Structure 1
């Protein structure tokens, strides 16, 4: 593998890893801070992809569609937490699994009724259609670089929100000791609503950004959900920093594995997870 091909695969791995982080960050927030096992997280990714296809067809602008989709996702997440999830915080994890498993079927049926079962494509915005030349024969798409830049900005924004704001302080306090936080006057129900809505929004935005890179098709969230859980387990449950590092590791291992050792590429990610858990059973970073 020459330097140019190595650079392209490196960029592909980083881009895939950053997109995984968008998904895994929402999952680790919901799982680690609220204690909710959300099997429907992949369905939010699928809904994001279909929203991108539908909104781009209506307003002919992917960037505006992402903004509108993020707002709709936040409202959806808030309503789901208010109407369903807040009643299960003190219940067994099996109840949460059954609820979220049922939501998968509900979202799939709603998707089928609203948008059908066909496979769709979303065009790359004209402003981002070009490529940057790496050599005389190799180039890298501008849209993939745009995804990386947007994911980095969102990751920085999430870090500032969690680590540097009053709301982030309340989120961390509620995650550490819910009873004590409530005793100090923190509205934990409000905090949980924001956290869940934020997690849903991140998953939907990730699906919208990924839509031009792949087809939009039914049940596309299932394989993504498995990868998200791998990232969360490697990084450490509840750790956003861990999700970021683990997502980049998984993205690079998966990308280079498919190029260098395609025979065992599908196993490498799980081998990585097993190796990390043998060394640090709690994941790379604690909450």
Structure 2
């Protein structure tokens, strides 16, 4: 592998890792802070992709589609938390698994009714359709750099929210000791609603920015869900920092594994997870 090819694969792995982080950050917040095992998280990624396809056609702009889709997905998350999830916080994890597993089928059926079962493509905006030449024969798409930039910006915003704001302090307090935080006047129900809506919004935005590259097709959320759980387990349940480090590690191992060791590429990510859990059963970072 020459230097140019190595650089392209490195950029691809970082872009893939940051996209995984967008998904895994919401999942680790919901799982680590709210204690909810959400198997339907991949459906929010699918929702974002279909919103990008339909809203970009409606508005004629992918940027407006992302902004509008993010707002709609957050509202959807608030409604879903109020209608269903808040009634399962104190229930057994098996009940949560059954609920969210059932939601996968419900969301897939609603997707089929609303948007059909065809594969759709979302056009890349003309401003971002160019490529940066690296050598005489190799170039890198500007849109992939845009995807990485969006993910980095949201990661920085999430870090600021969790670490530097009063709301973030309440979220951390609720995650550390829910009963004590509630006794001190923190509205835990509101915190849970905000965290769930934030997780849904992050997953949907990931789906929206990925749609022009990955296309939009039925059951697309199920393919990323398992990888998201791998990232959460490696990084440590409830740790946003751990999710970022783990997502970048998974992106590197998966991307370079497919290039250098294609025969065993499907195993490498799970070997990485097993190795981490062997030495750090709680993941790389504790909550």
TM-score by length of 1: 0.99
Deviation at 1:135, TM superposition (A): 1.1
Quote the RMSD (CA, aligned, Å).
0.5
**What residue number does 1:283 align with?**
283
**What residue number does 2:96 align with?**
96
In structure 1, how many angstroms separate the alpha carbons of the residues matched to 2:162 and 2:209?
Answer: 23
Q: Deviations over 1:19-65 (max 9, x none)?
A: 00000000000000000000000000011111111111111111110
> Unpaired runs of 5+ in structure 1?
none
Q: Deviations over 1:225-253 (max 9, x none)?
A: 00000000000000000000000000010
**What residue number does 2:177 align with?**
177
**What residue number does 1:15 align with?**
15
Q: Which runs of 4+ in 1 moved over 6 A?
A: none
In structure 2, how many angstroms separate the alpha carbons of the residues matched to 1:102 and 1:153?
Answer: 33
In structure 1, how many angstroms separate the alpha carbons of the residues matched to 2:152 and 2:59?
Answer: 26
In structure 1, how many angstroms separate the alpha carbons of the residues matched to 2:21 and 2:132?
Answer: 25
| 1:166 aligned onto 2:143 | no
1:17-36 residue pairs with structure 2 within 5 A?
A: 17-36=17-36
In structure 2, how many angstroms separate the alpha carbons of the residues matched to 1:215 and 1:146?
Answer: 17
Q: Deviations over 1:97-137 (max 9, x none)?
A: 11101110110011000000001011101110001111111
| 1:113 aligned onto 2:113 | yes
In structure 1, how many angstroms separate the alpha carbons of the residues matched to 2:43 and 2:189?
Answer: 24
In structure 2, how many angstroms separate the alpha carbons of the residues matched to 1:251 and 1:135?
Answer: 24
1:68-147 residue pairs with structure 2 within 5 A?
A: 68-147=68-147
How many residues are paired up? 287
| 1:265 aligned onto 2:270 | no
> Unpaired runs of 5+ in structure 2?
none
**What residue number does 1:217 align with?**
217
In structure 1, how many angstroms separate the alpha carbons of the residues matched to 2:199 and 2:214?
Answer: 22
